[in-house]
C-alpha cells in the first residue's frame, strides 16, 4: 500500500507540474497574441494617419499677399483651379469691383470643364469666365452665369477687403 500511495503522490505532483507549465505557456501565448494585435492596430493607425497627412499635404493651397499681409486659400479639385495653380507664382494688379469683391486677371484663361458654379460668399475664390478674371469675395454675393468656384479662404480672410495695388500669388 505504501508503494501505491507513493506512486499516487508522484502522479499528482507530475500532473500538477504539467498543468502549471501549460497554464504558464497558454498565458504567455495569449499575452503575445494580444500584443501582436495591438501592434498591428497601431501600425495600421500610423499608416492611416500618414496617408491622411499625405492627402492633406497634397491639396492645392495658395497665398495672396497684399500690403504685407497674406491670405491663404485652399483650391478645389476642378480643372480651372488646377490650371490656375499651374500659373503660379504670379503678380497682378488687384482692383475693387462692386462693394463685395476684388478682381485680378491671370495670364491665361482657365478651362471651366467640370468646375462647379460658385455660390459666392465671404472668402470664396472664383473665376468669372466671360471676363477671364479671378474674383475674391469679402462679402456675400450668390451666383451668376459664368461664375465658377476655385476655392475658399482658410486663413487671413479679414485682409481681403483691404487688398490693393500689386498682389503676389504663390503656391503654399
Q: Could you report the per-residue pLDDT of 72-114, keeping only the tens digit for each?
A: 999 999 999 999 999 999 999 999 999 999 999 999 999 999 9
Nearest to 139 by CA among 95, 99, 97, 94: 99
How many domains are there within the chain? 2
* 101 plus 155 within the same structural domain: yes
* 74 plus 51 within the same structural domain: no
* 94 plus 12 within the same structural domain: no
Residue 60, pLDDT above cutoff 50? yes
Instruction: Please compute the mean of the pLDDT values over residues 40-67 and round it to a whole number.
Output: 64
* Helix, coil or strand: residue 77: coil
82 torsion bin: left (phi>0), alpha (psi -120 to 50), beta (else) = alpha
* 83 plus 163 within the same structural domain: yes
- Most confident of the following: 30-39, 57-66, 119-128: 119-128
Whole-number pLDDT of residue 27: 64
* 127 plus 70 within the same structural domain: yes
- Most confident of the following: 23-37, 54-68, 100-114: 100-114
Instruction: Please compute the mean of the pLDDT values over residues 31-57 and round it to a whole number.
Output: 47
Instruction: Select from 9, 38, 58 the last residue of a domain.
Output: 58
Q: Could you report the per-residue pLDDT of 14-24, keeping only the tens digit for each?
A: 777 677 666 66
* 34 plus 73 within the same structural domain: no
Instruction: Please compute the mean of the pLDDT values over residues 116-144 and round it to a whole number.
Output: 98
The pLDDT confidence band at residue 47, using thresholds 50, 70 and 90, is very low
Residues of the domain holding 14: 1-58
CATH classification of the domain holding 130: 2.40.100.20
- Asked if residue 97 lies in contact with residue 164, where contact means CB atoms within 8 angstroms, the answer is no
The pLDDT confidence band at residue 11, using thresholds 50, 70 and 90, is confident
- Asked if residue 97 lies in contact with residue 139, where contact means CB atoms within 8 angstroms, the answer is no
- Specify the pTM: 0.68
DSSP for 78-99, written as a single string? SHHHHHHHHT-SEEEEEEEETT
Amino acid at each position: 500500500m505504501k508503494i501505491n500511495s507513493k506512486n499516487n503522490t508522484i502522479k499528482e505532483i507530475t500532473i500538477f507540474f504539467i498543468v502549471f507549465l501549460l497554464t504558464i505557456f497558454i498565458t504567455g501565448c495569449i499575452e503575445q497574441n494580444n500584443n501582436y494585435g495591438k501592434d498591428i492596430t497601431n501600425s495600421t493607425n500610423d499608416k492611416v494617419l500618414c496617408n491622411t497627412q499625405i492627402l492633406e499635404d497634397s491639396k492645392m493651397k495658395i497665398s495672396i499677399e497684399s500690403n504685407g499681409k497674406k491670405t491663404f486659400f485652399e483650391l478645389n479639385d476642378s480643372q480651372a483651379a488646377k490650371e490656375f495653380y499651374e500659373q503660379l507664382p504670379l503678380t497682378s494688379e488687384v482692383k475693387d469691383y462692386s462693394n463685395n469683391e476684388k478682381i485680378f486677371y491671370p495670364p491665361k484663361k482657365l478651362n471651366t470643364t467640370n468646375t462647379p458654379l460658385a455660390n459666392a460668399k465671404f472668402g470664396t475664390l472664383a473665376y468669372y469666365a466671360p471676363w477671364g478674371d479671378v474674383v475674391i469675395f469679402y462679402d456675400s454675393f450668390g451666383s451668376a452665369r459664368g461664375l465658377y468656384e476655385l476655392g475658399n479662404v482658410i486663413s487671413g480672410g479679414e485682409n481681403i477687403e483691404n487688398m490693393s495695388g500689386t498682389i503676389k500669388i504663390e503656391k503654399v
